[in-house]
C-alpha cells in the first residue's frame, strides 16, 4: 500500500512541465528585486533551518539574489580537508544515497532499481573503464552547502553536458522512478588522477535553475549533448578539495572510479551524512 502511495506522489512529476517550471524558478532565484529576493531567502532559510553561522556572509539581507544565497561560500576552515595522502574526499555536504561496486554495466539506484552506466555517461566507450569499479552517489538536501569539490586531485580531460528530464532526486523519487540519474539532465566531468580515470557527475533536478562549473560557468539548458575536450589544448588541474562546480538549487553528485584502485570507508552506508572534505574513501593503487 505504501509503495502504491509513493508511486502516486512521484507520478505527478511526469505531468509537470519540468523545464518550464525550472526556468520560472530560475528567474525568481536570480531576481535582485529586494522584496522578491528577501522574501524568498528568508522563508527558505526558516523552512529548511539553514545554518548561517558557518556562512562567510551570515546576514541574509546582504545577498544580491537567492542564487547567491543558495551557493553561498563558507567561512575559512568551516570544512577542513582530510590531509592523509591516500584520501578521497567527500565532494559535498549531504547524505549517501548509495555507494558500492559497479556490476557489469549497472549502477545501483535504490531497492528494485539500477541503471546503465553507459546511459549515465552517454558514452559506451568511456563506460568500459569503470565496469567493475566503484561509485558513490551523494544527495544534497535544500539546507546543505551547495558547492561541489574535488574528491581527488585531477586533470580535467573532458566535460559533457547531457540533456534530459528534471525529476526530483530525493529518496522517494529514487525509489520509484526508473533510471533516474541516467535520464535527468547532467554534467559529466572526466579527470585523470593518481588512481586512474575518475568521473564526477552533477545531476540536475526539478527546479534546479542551472549547473555551474569553475571552468565553463553556467551550463545553459539545451536539447543536445555538448562535449568539450580539454586534454589536447587546455591544461586544467584541480587539487583535492578545490571547488569543481555548484548547483543553483539542489541536486546530486555521483563519483566513479575504475576497478581495484580505491575503496570506500566502511562507516559510509546508505543515508550516512556527509561533510565536504571528510575522508570518504582511500586510494589502493596509484597509476
CA atoms within 13 A on the CB side of 223: 0
Q: Which residues contact 1 (CB under 8 A, 6 or more apart)?
A: none
Give me the sign of the Cα torsion angle 263, 193, 79, 95.
Answer: negative
Alpha-carbon distance of 31 to 27, in angstroms, equals 6
* DSSP string for residues in 73-130: PBPTTSSPPP--TTEEE--SSEEEEEEEE-BTTEEEEETTEEEEHHHHHT-HHHHGGG
**Catalytic residue numbers, as ranges:** 93, 149, 251
Alpha-carbon distance of 93 to 125, in angstroms, equals 31
Assess contact for 139 and 94: CB atoms under 8 A: yes
Amino acid at each position: 500500500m505504501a509503495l502504491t502511495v509513493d508511486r502516486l506522489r512521484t507520478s505527478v512529476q511526469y505531468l509537470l512541465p519540468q523545464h518550464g517550471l525550472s526556468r520560472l524558478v530560475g528567474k525568481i532565484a536570480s531576481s535582485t528585486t529586494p522584496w522578491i529576493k528577501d522574501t524568498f531567502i528568508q522563508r527558505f532559510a526558516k523552512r529548511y533551518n539553514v545554518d548561517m553561522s558557518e556562512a562567510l556572509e551570515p546576514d541574509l539581507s546582504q545577498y544580491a539574489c537567492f542564487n547567491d544565497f543558495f551557493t553561498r561560500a563558507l567561512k575559512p576552515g568551516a570544512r577542513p580537508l582530510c590531509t592523509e595522502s591516500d584520501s578521497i574526499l567527500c565532494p559535498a555536504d549531504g547524505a549517501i544515497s548509495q555507494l558500492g561496486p559497479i556490476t557489469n554495466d549497472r549502477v545501483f539506484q535504490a531497492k528494485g532499481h539500477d541503471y546503465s552506466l553507459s546511459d549515465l555517461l552517454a558514452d559506451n566507450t568511456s563506460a568500459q573503464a569503470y565496469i567493475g569499479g566503484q561509485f558513490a552517489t551523494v544527495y544534497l538536501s535544500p539546507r546543505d552547502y551547495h558547492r561541489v569539490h574535488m574528491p581527488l586531485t585531477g586533470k580535467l580531460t573532458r566535460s559533457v553536458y547531457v540533456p534530459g528530464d528534471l525529476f526530483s532526486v530525493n529518496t522517494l523519487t529514487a525509489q520509484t522512478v526508473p533510471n533516474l540519474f541516467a535520464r535527468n539532465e547532467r554534467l559529466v566531468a572526466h579527470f585523470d588522477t593518481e588512481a586512474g580515470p575518475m568521473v564526477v557527475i552533477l545531476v540536475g533536478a526539478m527546479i534546479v535553475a542551472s549547473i555551474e562549473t569553475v571552468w565553463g560557468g553556467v551550463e545553459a539548458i539545451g536539447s543536445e549533448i555538448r562535449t568539450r575536450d580539454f586534454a589536447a589544448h587546455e591544461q586544467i588541474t584541480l587539487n583535492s578539495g578545490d571547488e569543481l562546480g555548484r548547483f543553483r538549487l539542489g541536486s546530486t553528485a555521483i563519483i566513479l572510479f575504475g576497478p581495484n584502485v580505491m575503496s570506500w570507508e566502511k562507516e559510509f552506508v546508505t543515508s550516512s551524512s556527509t561533510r565536504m572534505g571528510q575522508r570518504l574513501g582511500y586510494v589502493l593503487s596509484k597509476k
